[in-house]
A = this chain, B = another copy of it.
Amino acid sequence: MKTVQQQLTQFLAHITQVPPLDVALADASGCILAADVIARSAVPPTALAACDGYAVRAKDVEGARPTAPAVLPVAHVITNALADPIRLVDFQAIKVSSGAALPIGADTIIPLADTDRGTVRVAITDSRRRGQHILPAGADMHEGDIALRAGTRLGARQLALAAGLGYPRITVHPRPRVVVVPVGDELVPPGSPHHGIYDANGPALRTAIQDVGAVAIQVAPLPDTPSALTEAIEDQMVRADLIVTTGGLSEGENDTLKDVLLHLGDVRFDHIAMQPGRNQGFGMLKVQGFTGDEADHVPVYALPGAPAAAHVAFEVFVRPALRAMAGYSELYRPALTATTTTSWRSPHGIRQFLPAHVTGTPDGGYEVTPVGDPEHLDNLTLSLVASANALAVVPEDMTDVATGASLPCLILED
């Protein structure tokens, strides 16, 4: 049997980042930046008023206070933030909006609140120090400064910065495209009038893939027959960055899926020292180019068919791979330590990932209770898994999990 760590390391060795692509800002949301974003000019390009008020020379209003205001004529009102800077004459004031270019000769903005808001003449009731409420040219960035570094995740505030610098497009690792292939003669889509077992893994994996920020392409459940499987997988390979199959690996079944994948590329199947989800496989499938002599490769991961096992194996192996493809450096979910409210025996040499319910607070600590019976993982039904909010991890060398034992728990975001 292979350890979880061996399986993860070997699978991740087949994974590469999706090649950088220039995309519109609207398509970059949530992606990882693949090239530094540089300020193409100073920001701001000229000194700006940083609040609504009156541009003055500090020395003209020195000592102004409520009982002895400095009164200046208002020479101009700048209503257009784009107007070229105008010149301030000594002992005058120019009314400005926040963001307007600082009038030439002005060195201070007096906020509206420290004035009588006059339009012809303004009484200034508070004198401020020179430079107040002015954003100097280049205060934010100089030309050539790195505004955003490659590797940054592009959320709202990072995209605001790129937009503010004038970039309509940006170079990112685009979202990986993942094709989901549920396999099983017995599977029918939810709502199908045909006799069968409703495919739960397809819809679940589609959402789990989207939650990582990737694009899911869900294929209708496929029968466990070589021609149908081969045709569907070959069809999908050309548009996939990763193919994920689920089912078709039970030892009681025929080995159709294994045979098909082995025929399409270099794939291995192993028993993994974990519960649930003992039977899994991965490898590289060969994509034949249109000319026949080119060959490209698409990684594939074969998940178990039992929904709880498929969910766990996706979390443990496929999710980190999708994060790596998308350009993240941190591949794993945050873990916290919780004490168990119950006890059970865990098989020696096996790492358990138990759907569980975690409660608690950072200050008060956390408690964890597995959903269902950890000694009978066959009972991990869809409703039990749906009620969990975490995966409790029992290390390989822990066989007696005592009540109160500390276990690392992976918190599932939803």
Q: Which residues of chain B are within 8 angstroms of A189 by Cβ–Cβ distance?
A: 168
Considering the complex, give the chain B residue whose CB is closest to the CB of A169. B191
CB interface residues, A 126-142, toward B, < 8 Å: 133, 135, 139-141
Instruction: Give residues of chain A (172-228) contacting chain B, Cβ–Cβ below 8 Å.
Output: 184-186, 189-192, 195-208, 210-211, 218
Contact of A80 among B156, B158, B185 (CB under 8 A): B185
Least Cβ–Cβ distance between A147 and chain B, in angstroms: 6
Q: Does the CB pair A190–B168 fall under 8 Å? A: yes
A381 CB to nearest chain B CB (Å): 4
- Chain A 215-260 residues near chain B, CB threshold 8 A: 218, 250-254
A207 touches B250 (CB 8 A): no
Query: Quick check: is A155 within 8 A (CB to CB) of the other chain?
Result: yes
Choice from B139, B155, B252 contacting A412 with Cβ under 8 Å: B155
**CB-nearest residue of chain B relative to A309?**
B98
Cα A195 to Cα B83 with chains together (Å): 10
Among B140, B154, B155, the residue within 8 A (CB) of A382 is: B140
A206 and chain B: residue at smallest CB distance = B26
Is A112 a contact partner of B207 (Cβ separation < 8 A)? Answer: no
A160 within 8 A of B: yes
The residues in A between 281 and 315 inclusive whose CB is less than 8 angstroms from any CB of B are 305-307, 311
Bound: A386/B412 CA distance, A = 27
Contact present for B160 and A386 (CB under 8 Å): yes
Number of chain copies forming the complex: 2
A333 to B168, CA, bound (A): 30
A383: which of B26, B82, B147, B153 is its contact (CB, 8 Å)?
B147
Chain B residues contacting A199 (CB-CB under 8 Å) are 163
How many angstroms between the C-alpha atoms of A163 and B203 in the bound complex? 7
Taking a contact as CB atoms under 8 Å apart, the answer to whether A159 and B204 are in contact is: yes
Bitwise interface map of A from 374 to 414 toward B, beta carbon under 8 Å scored 1, else 0: 00001101111110100000000000000000000000111
The listed residue with most B CB atoms (<10 A of its CB), out of A199, A305, A382, is A382
Q: Looking at the assembled complex, report how far the CB atom of A111 sits from the nearest CB atom of chain B, in whole angstroms.
A: 10
Q: In the complex, what's the smallest C-beta–C-beta distance from A392 to chain B, in angstroms?
A: 15
CA distance A53 to B204 in the complex (A): 27
Q: Decide yes or no: A207 and B140 within 8 Å by CB, A98-B250, A250-B52, A254-B79 being known contacts.
A: no
Partner of A50, one of B166, B206, B211, B379: B379
Contacts of A211 in B (CB 8 A): 30, 155-156
A205: B residues at CB distance < 8 A: 156
A8 contacts chain B at the CB level, 8 A cutoff: no
Partner of A43, one of B81, B305, B381: B381
Q: Contact between B195 and A82 (Cβ–Cβ < 8 Å)? A: yes
Known: A200-B164, A378-B133. A383 touches B186 (CB 8 A): no
A161 interfacial contact with B, CB 8 Å: yes
Report Cα–Cα, A189/B162, bound state, in Å. 12
Give 26 A-B contacts (CB < 8 Å), ordered by A residue. Answer: A26-B218, A29-B207, A30-B414, A52-B250, A52-B252, A80-B185, A81-B184, A97-B253, A112-B251, A112-B252, A140-B383, A153-B414, A156-B207, A156-B211, A156-B414, A157-B311, A157-B382, A158-B386, A159-B204, A160-B200, A160-B204, A160-B307, A160-B311, A161-B382, A163-B199, A164-B200
User: Which 7 A-B residue pairs are closest in the complex by CB-CB distance?
Assistant: A155-B414, A168-B191, A50-B378, A97-B252, A160-B204, A164-B200, A140-B381
